Structure 1
Amino acid sequence: MIGKIRIFLALSLVVVGSLILVPLQILSMKTGLWRETLILRIWHRLIIRALGMRIHVKGTLSNQRPLLVASNHVSWTDIMVLGSMVDVTFIARADMAGWPLIGMLSKLQRTVFIERERKRSSGDQASEIASRMAKGDAMVLFAEGSTSDGNMILPFKSTLFGAASIAISEGAAEKVFIQPVAIVYTRLHGVPLGRRHRPIAAWIGDEDLMPHLKVLMAEGGLDVEVYFGEAVAFSKGSSRKETARLMESQVRDMVQAALADPRPSR
């Protein structure tokens, strides 16, 4: 019964909030009366509140530009977690554009959709990302290429760092800064998450979205920690593979630190 009440209240908050914020975001995109990220951050915070999540932050987003943020990926909620705190733009797989609610939100924040299976289009997609970074957008790359269960980090795909190379080779920037970020779901109702309860937070592979959303709304009370590492410079001659391994190693260390000693819930 409590779960059903939570779902009703969460859905009501999201629906009412969206009816107000979506038109404002469209107006912002068409007129430029205010920063597009202003409404988006409010919208993300609304979703976080509806899901009952508490965010704990260590470090800050780098102010160096152009900036590519290399993050691990646990769930579709990662977008809301980061978007509620900092002004960033996301790089997402192409099929997300058709998802209910998430697809609409993605389009309203000018997400760059990439088709990883179509190698012919990868160059154009990387060029678009490079162009956006050169204009000052901080681009978030979920470098594993897929979601994990949150207990481990999948290998970072070096090909996904191609946008940094293109930004330099096309003369858009002399160097690109790449910042590692770890997103870790640590507690449920104040109790540390173990492997048994990890699926509540994690959204893995081709799992259907709506059942996972229902579980999150019914449970509530998730704590998530976000660690911002130190940005490193990627310049002409830098190796994508070495950079990918470095980012993977730093994100893994931050994830393990958060899991080993999760912050108290508040």
Structure 2
Amino acid sequence: MSVFRSVQAWGRLLGRLPKLLYIALRYTIATNRQARRLPSEAQPLFRAQRQQEGCRFLCRIMGLEVDASNAALPTGTPGLLVANHLGALDPIVLATCWPVAFVGKAELRRWPLIGWLCRSYGVLFVARERRTQSAHFVQQVRARLQAGVPVLVFPEGTTSRGDAVQPFKTGAFEAVAGMPQSWVLPVSLCIQEVDGKPASGRERQWLAWHAQVSFVRHLSRWLRLRRARLQVRVGRPISTLHKTRKQLAQEAFEVVQGLYEAMLKATVDTAGPMQKIPASTAKQSASAAVSESSSSERWGNS
């Protein structure tokens, strides 16, 4: 029976992958064609809206159900959304909830196909190792907010093993720090069910994208699942008025961490505890959440 299930799983991967590639290519070509007909100031919001529609379709193909009840954006001026980071599919999952612009590491721009997709949907690239580009990045974020598009960043700066939220880098918060009419919205994402059963710690670790797992292997694990349910929860918006980037990062981390821990507790773990991770990446206390030791630690990435 286990051999039969394995064959079924690989069959799902082989059936889904061509569909995903075909739809992503055709949909994005159409998006670019339509966007070019619009005034430049209208293009960012249009691309974000198309991204939301397309990602909803991709999630249906992959068997991913996104539970995002009570995840409405604050009214008024767009702001910054900050979320924990589990794997490569996080942007696709979160894009189903809101029309947003993502922040990604500069290396993504050069990736075959993925770089083109990122550029087509308005990803804001940041070179975390270049301190001199921080002012330019802040200007990019503010320009996108002025165009009516919220910006979503993963301030952990890396993906986790799925057992805890990692400390937040502070760089992206500079774009909204001190602004009188903006906000930071804490967002927490958690894998709740795998193939119709409550997700265990081991399954979350297996599906996470960490240093020991290649991108191809990570993606193949998701595509072999029959279905999965992910939950998205948001905290109360944090006012940016009179607050520094460090204060905003600290407050947002505490909320995202609390939301994630609550979702973990709500899931019955039927497969035993998660394996321990190295002490260097273990869960840290809230008081040590914000990392500031070098310019490369200031920036999150997708």
Normalised to the residue count of structure 1, the TM-score between the two structures is 0.88
Q: Quick one: distance in 1 between partners of 2:91 and 2:75?
A: 20
One-letter amino acid of the counterpart of residue 182, structure 1: S
**Kept after mapping to 2: 8 A contact 1:67/1:178:** yes
Give the TM-score, by structure 2 length. 0.78
Question: How far apart are residue 205 of structure 1 and its match?
Answer: 4.1
Paired residues for 1:21-170 under 5 Å: 21-32=27-38, 35-59=46-70, 60-165=72-177
How has the CA–CA distance of structure 1 residues 49 and 196 changed in structure 2, closer, same or farther, with 3 Å as cutoff?
Answer: same
Q: For residue 256 of structure 1, what is the amino acid of its counterpart?
A: E
* Counterpart residue number, 2:285: none
What letter is aligned with 2:16? A
CA offsets 1:126-175 (integer angstroms, 9 cap, x no match): 2211221122210001111111112101111123211113xx6xxxx633
Structure 1 residues 66-75 or 98-107, which shifts more?
A: 98-107
Shift of 1:260: 1.1
Would the aligned equivalents of 1:92 and 1:112 in 2 still touch at CA under 8 Å? yes
Percent identity of the aligned residues?
Answer: 23
Find the residue that maps to 2:200 and give its secondary structure.
coil
Aligned match of 1:193: 199
Q: Quote the residue 2:251 is aligned against.
A: 246
Query: Which of 234, 253, 262 is 2:240 aligned to?
Result: 234
Structure 2: unaligned runs, 5 residues or longer: 1-6, 269-302
The 2-side partners of 1:52 and 1:101 are apart by 23
Partner of residue 273, structure 2: none
Contact 1:200 1:216 in 2 (8 A): no
The one-letter code matched in structure 2 to 1:258 is M
Q: CA RMSD in A?
A: 2.1
Larger deviation, residues 173-182 vs 223-232: 173-182
Q: Flag structure 1 segments of 5+ consecutive residues without an equivalent.
A: none
- Shift of the alpha carbon at 1:79? 0.3
Residue of structure 1 equivalent to 2:287 = none
How many Å separate the matches in 2 of 1:46 and 1:100? 22
The answer on whether the counterparts of 1:66 and 1:138 sit within 8 Å (CA) in structure 2 is yes
- Contact preservation (8 Å) 2:163, 2:205: no
**8 Å contact from structure 2 (residues 174, 244) kept in 1:** no
Distance in 1, matches of 2:217 and 2:56, equals: 21
Q: Which structure has the highest strand share of the two?
A: 1
Where do 4+ consecutive residues of structure 1 move more than 3 Å? none
| Superposition deviation, residue 184 in structure 1 | 0.7
1:255 aligns to 2:260 (yes or no): yes
